Structure formats: structure tokens, C-alpha cells
Amino acid sequence: MTLGMALALLGAGVAAFLGGIGSAYGISIAGRAATGVLSEKPERYGQMFIMVVLPGTQGFYGFLGAFMVMLQMNFFGGGLSQEVNTWLGLQVLAACLPVGVAGLFSAIQQGKTSAGGILMAAKRPELAFKAGVVYAVMVEIYAILGLLVTLFILLFGIKFPAAAAAAGV
């Protein structure tokens, strides 16, 4: 395995792991708030559920970023591994940082926002969607932007050797 390939795979790992860590932490924050509310008001489970799972989406975004790296590198077909030089590996690693870092921080903050929405919905259930879910989704926008930046860089900013050969460059 070349250093470039190792760096590219490290980038894929960073995207998946940071998004997953943020999601796990964010869900735990919201989950603790929800279990407290549900111990007194179990009928509010449906309202609490969406706010607990919302921070989990960043883990999926990180996975998608990692998967796109592997697809672009023909990882599953085994055709590109020898062509990944150090510079290309660094580019892929850098491309994975937006989705990984944005996913880590936004999932944690979304968990905190969801926990606040859960506590608010315990007293004012009619505001569970209006305030609880909507505010938490506003935090998610930044994770989506991180994913988009990663995808744009991977799809349009990096010239992968297999893609260049197919285009006749």
C-alpha cells in the first residue's frame, strides 16, 4: 500500500469516525433528556423520538463521505491503489475534513438543542415540532453544508487517475 493510499483511506476514516462520534455523543445528550421526561410522561414517546434520533444523521453523512472516497478511488474494484500518490492522498484527506469536523461539532450541538426541545416539549407538547424539531434541524444545516463541500471537492475538485484516463486526459 502506498503512502497516498493510506492518507486517502485515513481521510475516509476521519469522515466516518468523526461523524459517528459526534452522532453517538449527540444522541446520548438528547437520549438522557428524553428518558427523564419519559419516566414521568411515557405517552410523549413519539414526540421525543425524532428529537433523540436527529443527531444521528451526521454519522450517515460521514459514512456517505467515506463511501464516496472509496467509490472515487475504485476501492471496491481494486484498480486504483497503485496510482494514488502522496499528493492525491493528501487531497482526499483534506476533502474529508469538512464532513467529519462539521459532523462532529454539529451532532453534539444538535444533541444539546434537541435536549432543550425535549425539556420544552415536556411542559408544552404543542411546541414539540415548532420549536424542538425545527431548532434542531437548523443546526443540521451546517452538517449538510460540510457534506456538500466534501462531495464537491471529491467529485469536481480532485482529478483521480482512473477518471482522467477514462476522459482521455
* Nearest of 36, 34, 40 to residue 52 by alpha carbon: 34
Sketch out the chain's domains with CATH numbers.
3-157 (1.20.120.610)
Q: CA 166, 153, 8, 27: dihedral to nearest 10 degrees?
A: -130
Grid cell digits, residue 19:
461523524
* Nearest of 113, 132, 108 to residue 48 by alpha carbon: 132
Element (H, E) at 58: helix 57-72
Spatial contact of 98 and 150, defined as CB atoms under 8 Å apart: yes
Note the pLDDT of residue 46: 87
List CB contacts of 125: < 8 A, sequence separation 6 or more.
Answer: 44, 47
* Nearest of 53, 10, 62 to residue 30 by alpha carbon: 53
Full pLDDT tens readout for the chain, 169 residues: 789 999 999 999 999 999 999 999 999 999 999 999 999 999 989 889 999 999 999 999 999 999 999 999 888 887 666 678 999 999 999 999 999 999 999 999 999 999 999 999 888 888 888 888 999 999 999 999 999 999 999 999 998 876 555 545 4
Q: Give buried/exposed letters for 139-148 (b at 16+ CB in 10 A, else e).
A: bbebbbebbe
Note the pLDDT of residue 162: 62
